[in-house]
Amino acid sequence: MLRAVLFDAGGTLIHPDYERVRRALERSVGRAPAVAELQAAEYAGREAVERAMAAEPAMADGARWQLHFAGALASLGFGPAELARAAPEIRAEHARANLWTVAQPGAAEALAALRARGLAVGCVSNSDGTVAALLERAGLGGALDFVVDSGAVGVEKPDPAIFRLALERAGVAASEALHAGDLYPVDVVGARRAGIEPVLLDPLGRYGGRGCRTAPDVPSLCRELVSSLDAG
């Protein structure tokens, strides 16, 4: 029986502010794709992270997000010289104010619907100890029962230990939980190592062959779960 649903933060509950990314690209390179193009290019960014983690499984999260952006921008036709100019500007923008600040539309209401049906709802994030504050500013803090931040607990996904901490906070067994996230080697692999069923977010329906449950986004997954719970 499902008793808890865990969510990743970046790329799942909150997303990059691509308007700020566009402005950083305009400043550094002189051109920038549309927001929708940047969002679709996240698939290429995830592929870049997967390749890097296959070669270096212990890669820290702080390096992954930069690889993600580089892979995404390369897929949009930005060459090596442009990437070299853009990277410092994007890093500076992220240092000025975290880029992952845009809440997934409808997420707060979707999480509230899960909690209204008695489920524990938590976040398990690779971050720097600030993700709870980011979620609060994005309007999602009150929709969560707890946040487990790798920067605060000292262990990162895909290490199953961070998922076990979340299970303890939720007060449930691994078989009673789901975990939803956007990165296969981080969220799917990590959840499975902890005995939790994973859900891979797949906004454009490209992950049908990944061998795991998928959902377009957080609200869609929550609607599926609520429907199943209401059906008894």
Q: Which of 220, 227, 229 is nearest to 7 (CA)?
A: 220
| Span 49-58, average pLDDT | 88
- 26: confidence class by pLDDT, cuts 50, 70, 90: very high
| Span 54-59, average pLDDT | 83
User: How far apart, in Å, do the first and last CA atoms of the chain sit?
Assistant: 11
207 vs 215: CA distance, rounded Å: 10
| Span 44-48, average pLDDT | 95
SS3 letters for 32-71?
A: CCCHHHHHHCHHHHHHHHHHHHHHCCCCCHHHHHHHHHHH
Supply the pLDDT for residue 64: 85
For 118-154, write each residue's pLDDT tens digit: 999 999 999 999 999 999 999 999 999 999 999 999 9
| Span 64-83, average pLDDT | 94
Q: Is the pLDDT of residue 23 over 90?
A: yes
Average pLDDT, the chain: 95
Q: Say yes or no: domain 4-13+102-231 is CATH 3.40.640.10.
A: no
Q: Is the pLDDT of residue 160 over 90?
A: yes
Q: Which of 53, 129, 75 is nearest to 98 (CA)?
A: 129
For 76-128, write each residue's pLDDT tens digit: 999 999 999 999 999 999 999 999 999 999 999 999 999 999 999 999 999 99
